Amino acid sequence: MRNAFGLMLASVVTAAVIAGVWFWTSSPRADVAAPQTVAARPAEPLPPAASAKPAAAREDLEVTASLSNKPAAAPAPTQPKSACANPDALGVSRVVEIDTKGGPGFGFEHFKQLDFLTDKEVVLTFDDGPWPGNTPSVLKTLADECTKAVFFPIGKHATYHPEILKQVAAAGHTVGAHTWSHANLNSKKMTEQEAKDELEKGFSAVKLALGAPPAPFFRFPQLQHNPAAMAYLGSRNVAIFSCDVDSFDFKAKNATQIIISVMTKLEKSGKGIILMHDFQKHTAEALPELLRRLKAGGYKVVQMKAKAPLQTLAEYDEGLVKDMKLPVASARPVNNVVQTVSE
């Protein structure tokens, strides 16, 4: 019974992928790539420093597709089965791979072209990390619910806490970027060169922290979309993320306010990309209950991945390494140099 259903599902998926490929290659908007539903791939190799952290167990993945009358040409690959310890976990219902060519925009608050989520589907996104305490707490909650999110770290924070950002990547979440210093790229004072530096240095900082290039996913600080910066990101083939549901968690006085804000907005929109901040303590506190409410409300998490990583620019990678090198006077450990002689 289960096998028969699996075969049916496999046929449907294959047909839908064929139909999808046909549609997008023959569509006049083929340059603006739509997300494709993909099967889960084997875990990517971790950067050496991240290998101390065990990768999170892969959860149950179920590829969804709309019905099609086209015959299936070949069997779809079998889905890897899970090792999620929580039978009531929110999980991941669908994984989509984003072709970022030309810089597609996501999130109906600003970009309405790519409507890829179906009713009750949500994407979890977290900005402004990595940050001690709060980001690890968010990671634990996501792991407990066997679900995945997209993180938009600030470049500076990535250089402060690279070990935390490595944990984010090691857990299988998607990591994009959110500028070097959280500057408003739409400010009148910001020159095009300064905006480019903020963008590129942010991506290079995430790469330096992870030991691997980030996804070409970007979110503008304060959702301030500067047209020239958007055109630049398009030329760099970086997808731009706005949101559908803004939690305004940074303004919330407690965890309850965040839960109410997200659930109320979701009831209206029915689906969407949810914007939160792993930098915020109240968000970390709200997340366990929020994920339980999502599950209870019949919401399903869609994981967004990039088709290919971003190629960072060598001049920014090198400039960052140079900036971070402090003059070293002596390599002796601190307790060898500084001794308490009286207290």
* CA nearest neighbour of 41 among 22, 63, 24: 63
In the complex, the smallest distance separating the C-beta of residue 156 from Zn ion, rounded to whole angstroms, is 12
Q: Is 277 a catalytic residue?
A: yes
In the complex, the smallest distance separating the C-beta of residue 277 from Zn ion, rounded to whole angstroms, is 7
13: Cβ–Cβ under 8 A, 6 or more apart, which residues?
37, 63, 65, 76
Task: State both tokens at 297.
Answer: 């409300």
243: Cβ–Cβ under 8 A, 6 or more apart, which residues?
107, 109, 125, 223, 272, 273, 274, 275
Classify the C-alpha dihedral 236-196-169-210 as positive or negative: positive
Residue 59 or 128: which CB sits closer to Zn ion? 128
Task: State both tokens at 332.
Answer: 């002796």
In the complex, the smallest distance separating the C-beta of residue 178 from Zn ion, rounded to whole angstroms, is 5
Task: State both tokens at 324.
Answer: 């971070």
In the complex, the smallest distance separating the C-beta of residue 195 from Zn ion, rounded to whole angstroms, is 16
Residue 127 or 198: which CB sits closer to Zn ion? 127
Residue 111 or 250: which CB sits closer to Zn ion? 250
Residue 91 or 176: which CB sits closer to Zn ion? 176
The one catalytic residue among 99, 127, 128, 197 = 127
Q: How far apart are CA 94 and CA 123, in angstroms?
A: 10
Q: Is 127 a catalytic residue?
A: yes
Q: How far apart are CA 76 and CA 72, in angstroms?
A: 9
Indicate the residue whose CB is closest to Zn ion: 127
Residues found near Zn ion in the complex (CB under 5 A): 127-128, 221
The one catalytic residue among 157, 161, 277, 282 = 277
DSSP state for residue 200 in the 8-state scheme: H
In the complex, the smallest distance separating the C-beta of residue 182 from Zn ion, rounded to whole angstroms, is 6
Q: In what order do the strands lie in the sheet with 105-106?
A: 105-106, 239-241, 217-218
Residue 131 or 299: which CB sits closer to Zn ion? 131
* CA nearest neighbour of 47 among 161, 167, 200: 167
Which amino acids are annotated catalytic? 127, 277
